[in-house]
């Protein structure tokens, strides 16, 4: 026969297991969202990297670059829905602002002799993406940078 004590212990174990399962799913969800944002943001950054030769213009059409920017922006918005750490949120906000600055530089590329502005925002973008990845790794407890980068 099962005693009340055994029933209470079984219920407590079940509740604890549910708690840990919920925490694991939350962490996995955040990991996937952060990874998705970094993937879209890096695609966008790769699209706006300086051209190989001086004066050769952007490597892909502005319309495609705008599509990549919108995808990165949408993925970044989801970060704010799942993030549990103010440092990660702040790093994402910086990345989102930089996406806007990059868009301005892309659309003003023809008035920027030598592409100096685009070069600068590209370097800024690289810096803020690294800061976001570091904040996300800290929040998720991921020790290996390649875990979050999806490499």
pLDDT given for residue 143 in this prediction: 54
pLDDT value at 125 more than 50: yes
Question: What is the CATH architecture assignment of 30-149?
Answer: Up-down Bundle (1.20)
Higher pLDDT, 29 or 57: 29
Reported as a single tens digit per residue, the pLDDT across 11-27 is 888 878 777 777 777 88
pLDDT value at 58 more than 80: no
Token duo for residue 67: 């599509």
Domain residue limits, the chain? 30-149
Nearest to 91 by CA among 150, 52, 61, 134: 134
């Amino acid at each position: 026969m099962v005693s009340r004590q055994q029933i209470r212990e079984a219920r407590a174990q079940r509740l604890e297991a549910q708690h840990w399962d919920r925490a694991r799913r939350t962490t996995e969800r955040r990991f996937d969202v952060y990874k998705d944002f970094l993937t879209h943001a890096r695609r966008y950054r790769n699209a706006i990297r300086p051209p190989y030769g001086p004066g050769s213009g952007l490597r892909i059409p502005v319309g495609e670059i705008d599509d990549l920017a919108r995808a990165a922006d949408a993925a970044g918005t989801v970060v704010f829905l799942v993030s549990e750490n103010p440092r990660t949120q702040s790093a994402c906000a910086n990345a989102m602002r930089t996406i806007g600055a990059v868009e301005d530089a892309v659309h003003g590329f023809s008035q920027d002799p030598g592409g100096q502005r685009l070069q600068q925002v590209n370097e800024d973008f690289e810096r803020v993406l690294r800061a976001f990845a570091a904040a996300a790794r800290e929040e998720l407890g991921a020790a290996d940078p390649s875990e979050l980068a999806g490499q």
